[in-house]
Amino acid sequence: MKNFELKPIYYPKGSYLNYILEIWVDGVNISQFYEDDKLRIDVGYIFHIYNYFDNYLEDIMREEVLPYEDVEGKTIFETIDNIKKKYFYWLKDDYEDDESDENDEEIEKIISISEPFYDWQRAHRWLLYGPFLCIPDIIFRRIGDTIEISWDTTWDITYQQRKYENENIKFISAKGVSYIDANEFYLEIKEFLKKIDDISKIQNEKFHITEKTGKLIYAKDPYNNIEFKEEKEFLKDLEKIGHKLVTIYELVLITEKDKKVVPIILKYLSKIEDENIKTHLAYFLAVKNYKEASEKLIKEFYKAKTDEYKIALSKALSTIYNKDILNELLEIAKNKEYKDVNFPIIFTLRKYRDKRVKMFFEKSRME
DSSP notation for 62-76? S----S-TT---SSH
Is it the case that residue 242 has pLDDT exceeding 90? yes
**Residues 248-276: tens digit of each pLDDT:** 999 999 999 999 999 999 999 999 999 99
Element (H, E) at 148: strand 146-152
Query: What 8-state DSSP symbol labels residue 125?
Result: B
Q: Count CA atoms within 13 Å of residue 291 on its CB side.
A: 13
Query: What 8-state DSSP symbol labels residue 351?
Result: T
CB 357 within 8 A of CB 345: no
196 versus 315: the higher-pLDDT residue is 196
Highest mean pLDDT among 118-122, 178-182, 217-221, 348-352: 178-182
Q: Would residue 322 be called left, alpha or beta, if left means φ above 0 and alpha means ψ between -120 and 50 degrees? A: left
d(CA 134, CA 206): 29
CB 276 within 8 A of CB 303: no
74 versus 262: the higher-pLDDT residue is 262
DSSP per residue, 18-52:
EEEEEEEETTEETT-EEETTEEE--EEE-HHHHHH
Distance (Å) of CA 20 to CA 24, 116, 163, 181, 231: 13, 33, 20, 25, 21
Q: How many CB atoms lie within 10 A of CB 201?
A: 10
Query: What 8-state DSSP symbol labels residue 252?
Result: G
Q: Count CA atoms within 13 Å of residue 232 on its CB side.
A: 1
Q: How many CB atoms lie within 10 A of CB 293?
A: 25
Identify the band that residue 239 occupies on the pLDDT scale cut at 50, 70 and 90. very high
pLDDT, mean over the chain: 80
How would you list the strands of the sheet with 33-35, edge to edge?
38-40, 33-35, 169-171
The reported pLDDT for the residue numbered 352 is 40
The reported pLDDT for the residue numbered 206 is 85
d(CA 188, CA 57): 11
CB 252 within 8 A of CB 225: no
d(CA 194, CA 192): 5
Torsion from C-alpha of 75, 78, 83, 84, nearest 10 degrees: 150
For the chain, how far is it from start to end, CA to CA, in angstroms?
Answer: 64
**Residues 76-111: tens digit of each pLDDT:** 888 888 888 888 877 776 666 555 555 778 778 888
Identify the band that residue 204 occupies on the pLDDT scale cut at 50, 70 and 90. confident
Cα angle at 292 between 205 and 265, to 5 degrees? 70
**Which region among 15-19, 31-35, 187-191, 304-308 has the lowest average model confidence (pLDDT)?**
304-308
The reported pLDDT for the residue numbered 319 is 85
**Residues 144-171: tens digit of each pLDDT:** 999 999 998 875 443 333 445 556 788 9
CB 3 within 8 A of CB 184: yes
Residue type, 108: E
- DSSP tally for the chain: helices H, then strands E: 12, 12
The reported pLDDT for the residue numbered 244 is 94
**Residues 115-148: tens digit of each pLDDT:** 888 888 889 998 766 567 888 889 999 999 999 9
Is it the case that residue 280 has pLDDT exceeding 70? yes
Highest mean pLDDT among 64-68, 248-252, 312-316: 248-252
